[in-house]
Structure 1
């Protein structure tokens, strides 16, 4: 079995998830990880599945992309990407007035501390900007990162919080 990363982007419409999932199920592909969202009227999905060869999946997705409304890409991925955990789970949230450079500034603090962002979402609602990120951090850097994020937040006039997160319970 091949492990594949598939992305689908395009103008949102009802049924995209069902269409893609049906194609993959029809090929015998097992969907293992995914994230899907709508961004200002556009749909974006990234998923990892195990199944047939990439060219076979690309061909099967072709009817969904034929009208030019969706773009799908398929790539082989290696199993070594899952072992990147380098710390404990935290949630960082940022909110305040929208301004240029918020994402760059707060993610740089995390990167400099060796933090790994595992999920990040931003939303703009009027003039309010909200960012929520799931982050893995080594316990020994958390106090320093929290202080640095507060300093960066003051400079951007946004509130930044970092709190310990509970691991997924399955």
Structure 2
């Protein structure tokens, strides 16, 4: 029976890291089911969901720490099981842009949590616009059956306006 393992690796960004980690995964007879990579500052970050039989997962758990040291990466693993999402709506895309202020993401995510809205994906970036930091954030969210999308859209757009942000809340196509 297939088992799953989440692997996180963080270290100085340089060419070839993804190739080396992918080779290790293959050499251990695991499959990369899902992955995300990003550069934060000068740091490379890579998160993978691996699948394999018990021997393959145990092998990569054993080899990854020493491989991480060789690659100058901080690594972490955690066993998991297949994701079984609760019954939710079709996905919606919530996006917003505006002046970057402390607490913006916290305020928006709290509003969603207060209404049991599931965040499935999140990407937030800050960039300079005329010397002022601005944030651009996109979230894929899903609603519980007990809340109507028009109500959520209204709540979100009101919150964005209060925070001097522009944005949208639309059914994802």
| TM-score band w.r.t. shorter chain | 0.7 to 0.9
RMSD (CA atoms): 1.9
> What is the TM-score normalised by the length of structure 1?
0.87
User: Is the aligned partner of 1:161 residue 2:161?
Assistant: no
Q: Deviations over 1:86-110 (max 9, x none)?
A: 2210111010011111101111121
Matches within 5 A, 1:1-170: 1-51=2-52, 52=55, 54-67=57-70, 69-79=72-82, 81-126=83-128, 127-138=133-144, 140-166=147-173
Tell me, which stretches of 5 or more residues in structure 2 are unaligned? Answer: none
Asked if the contact 1:54/1:75 (under 8 Å) is kept, the reply is no
Asked if the contact 1:57/1:74 (under 8 Å) is kept, the reply is no
> What is the TM-score normalised by the length of structure 2?
0.86
**Residue 148 of structure 2: SS of its match in structure 1?**
helix
